[in-house]
Amino acid sequence: MKQKKIFYGISAGYLILFFILSHIYQGNETALTWIGHLNILPILACTLLLLYVTARSERNNRLFWLLNAASGLCYLLSLLTLFADTLSDRIVLPSPSIADLFWIAEGCFLFMALLVVVYQRLKGMRLMQYFLDAAIFMSTIGVCSWSLLIAPMLESSMLVSSWLPAFVNLSYPIIDLGNLFLFSLLLFANQSLGSSRTHMGLLAGTLLLTFGDSVYLYMQLSGTYMLGSPIDVTWTASVLCLTAAGMESLYTVESKKERRLSASVQKKLNWVRLLLPYISLVALFAIILEELSKFNVMVVGSAFAMLLIIIRLILTFIENDYLLHRLSHTVEVKEHEANHDLLTGLANRRKFDAELCKAVERAEAENHQLALLFFDLDRFKHINDSMGHMLGDKLLQIVAERLLEYVPSTRLLARQGSDEFTVLVDPLEGEVEAYRTIAAIEEAFKKPVMLNETMLYVSASIGISLYPRDGTTADELMRNADIAMHEAKKNRHQKSQFFESSFGDRLAYKLELEQELRGAIGRGEISLHYQLQKNIQTCSIIGVEALIRWHHPVLGGISPVEFIPIAEETGMIIPIGEWVFKTACRQQVEWREQGYGSLRMSINVSPYQFQDELFVEKILHTLRETGVDPEYITIEVTESLAIRDVEKVSAQLQLLRRSGIKLAIDDFGTGYASLKYLRTFEPHLLKIDRFFVDGIDTEAERGSMVQAIIAIGRSLNMEVLAEGVETENQLEFLREAGCDEVQGYYLSRPLPADGVEQLLNERSQAKNRSEPEESAV
């Protein structure tokens, strides 16, 4: 872009300088001769630039630009020949001279360049109509050229014995007519030579060359040409325009606004293209009438009949243009519907798959990389189930609008279906571009979405695959990006994941976990750890949360994040949940008997356990079997429980409450349950998810959200517990906000039963030591 501006600035400055100097030294033949030699510099620069354009152009355009460079070189050689004649007294150029031959060669090379384009663009097309349109137009131009130039030159050549001057002089208008014919053929066939600027540059260069030759010859015939005439600058300007067209073909990338403008101009040019042959015919008939010595009824009737025929044809064109416009509009609408998602307006799976296949082919041919990003909305199914499909669709529309705002327009953004989206980065100039696109997607999800007067924090899990590292076909890239996305869903803190070859091993690992999990309880590999819960208003330990752990003798420690989803998918969560509940109840009884007080035991229950018809009976049986006091047992469920069979779950919870068991809503604020369900389920405790707690002392927005949740709990007579407390500042913020209880690494990590006992003993000893000191004071 910078190179183009420099070229345009220097070119405009030179033409202005040349015109000013020619005007100042008008009549001084010696000065004007040297001023004319200045053209060597811009023509030399233009020739080199055209060679550069030839080297950088696409393969099918190189011959065209090479012939243009040859045309510029011929003009340069003609100028150097004249310059040598000026410098040396020994060189005396005849008339016509070798310089004239170079000028003729300049036009011939331009003719060959246009001939190459005509062959490339019109090959295989039905040319008869375009040929006739161009012939009608050129007939008028030819008649004018014959009358003004060719015929007078033929007459003057009869007076000279040598045929060479006549041949040289006649070659200029003939070559120019050939160039105009080829260019008009492209115009009538509606074939562009590149971008709109490239096309205009070539048209200007061709017309300036033709205009300069024609006016120069006419002035020579009429004896009015003088050295330093304004017409002298047209040949240099012609080469400058051709060079500008070459520069535009390399650097021009039209914006949407320019494309709309080009479309508007193109529509007007189409009318000019359609009417130009008939306008030329009217002009030709006018010339014929001018040449007639007298008018009669036959001449007037013929002229009137021709005018009516032309008007009838124009009306036919208007009607056809209207029908074609309607047809093209219908085709565009159908094509858009076939390639775009009706809900969001984004490209659909059909269009994306087709573009991805093309991109892979280009990447293979040009040996470059590309990236495929595959992502979906986290927990979107819960939104659909709890808030309805209409609001779910509205959320997708809002998300699509934000993605269009943040994802660069050079990336292909598409909706695959449901809540799944894809982005194609082609070409990929290093992985940093993939990271920038990931950042743009994540930025689109940072702001909450207001949906039916409910503020939702929506996030996305992103999987990325790269060509050719992660696949050499479109199917492989899609599959591996999908696998990477599901891996990203497992990570709560990093929601994007590049594909790794080890992910295939992880699928095998998941199958192995499923097999090993079936006998884990019987082999004694499953255990419980406990994390302390503290009342921050009274500063006392009031309970623990039971957390399941699995230590495999070969695989080592296995996170619940890995095996709990497998247990839920396979139904093993039922026996595992029974074991956890029974073990936790026994531990609560054991601690009470050991003198640690009546610690509240919070036990997580999966929503899948509520699908067990004997769930409540099993819980009540465990209470009787272990002898635990139900008042100190709290079952924790997530908000997702609210989107299942509400009536059935509500009845189960009511039976449990009657037995004395309390209910806590875990990870409150991350799900999509409404306040109506809080009233229905009647929990006594709301647990604020660690997502909101993290950063409450530094981010005002999260702090406001926590305060709002605490206010909700207060208004419904519920206690509020904050999870994930890791710093004293967070603790103080929660205490001032009126939070009742906290849990997190600031108090302790999850510990085995003996670890909890040791920690409680240490706290008890520290408290006993502090009491005598206070008494002494």
* Higher pLDDT pick, 510 / 438: 438
CATH number belonging to domain 521-683+747-769: 3.20.20.450
Question: Which of 213, 185, 12, 35 is CA-nearest to residue 108?
Answer: 213
Q: CB atoms < 10 A from the CB of 347, how many?
A: 21
pLDDT, position 59: 83
Superfamily of the domain at 349-500: Reverse transcriptase/Diguanylate cyclase domain (3.30.70.270)
Report whether pLDDT(382) > 70. Answer: yes
DSSP alpha helices (H): ranges in 490-534? 502-517
Report whether pLDDT(761) > 50. Answer: yes
Tens digits of per-residue pLDDT, 159-201?
Answer: 666 667 777 778 888 888 888 888 888 877 777 666 778 888 8
pLDDT, position 168: 79
pLDDT, position 423: 94
Tens digits of per-residue pLDDT, 220-232?
Answer: 777 777 766 777 7
What value does the mean pLDDT take over residues 78-107? 80
pLDDT, position 257: 43
Could you tell me the pLDDT band of residue 260, with boundaries at 50, 70 and 90?
A: very low
Could you tell me the pLDDT band of residue 488, with boundaries at 50, 70 and 90?
A: confident
**HEC assignment per residue over 197-224:** HHHHHHHHHHHHHHHHHHHHHHHHHHCC
Highest mean pLDDT among 59-68, 581-590, 607-616: 581-590
Q: What number of residues does the chain have?
A: 777
Range of lowest pLDDT (113-122, 262-271, 556-565): 262-271
Listing DSSP states for 631-682 in one string gives GGEEEEEEGGGGGS-HHHHHHHHHHHHHHT-EEEEEEETSS---HHHHHHH-
pTM: 0.45
How far is residue 283's CA from residue 261's CA, in Å, rounded to a whole number? 31
What value does the mean pLDDT take over residues 366-390? 87
The tokens for 45 are: 């620069």
CATH number belonging to domain 2-253: 1.20.1070
pLDDT, position 254: 45
- The percentage of the chain sitting over the pLDDT mark of 90, rounded to a whole number, equals 31
pLDDT, position 273: 64
Report whether pLDDT(637) > 80. Answer: yes
What value does the mean pLDDT take over residues 561-577? 90
Question: Which of 716, 722, 632 is CA-nearest to residue 677?
Answer: 716
Report whether pLDDT(644) > 60. Answer: no
Could you tell me the pLDDT band of residue 753, with boundaries at 50, 70 and 90?
A: very high
Q: CA–CA distance from 644 to each of 230, 421, 570, 572, 641 (Å)?
A: 87, 27, 19, 19, 6
- The percentage of the chain sitting over the pLDDT mark of 70, rounded to a whole number, equals 86
How far is residue 455's CA from residue 661's CA, in Å, rounded to a whole number? 32
pLDDT, position 290: 64
The tokens for 51 are: 């060679």
Could you state, in order of their start, the residue ranges of all structural domains in the chain? 2-253, 257-337, 349-500, 521-683+747-769
pLDDT, position 124: 62
CA 498 and chain centroid, separation: 19
Q: Are 372 and 475 in contact (CB under 8 A)?
A: no
The tokens for 173 are: 């208008």
On average, the pLDDT of the chain sits at 83
Highest mean pLDDT among 22-26, 94-98, 467-471, 669-673: 467-471
pLDDT, position 768: 67
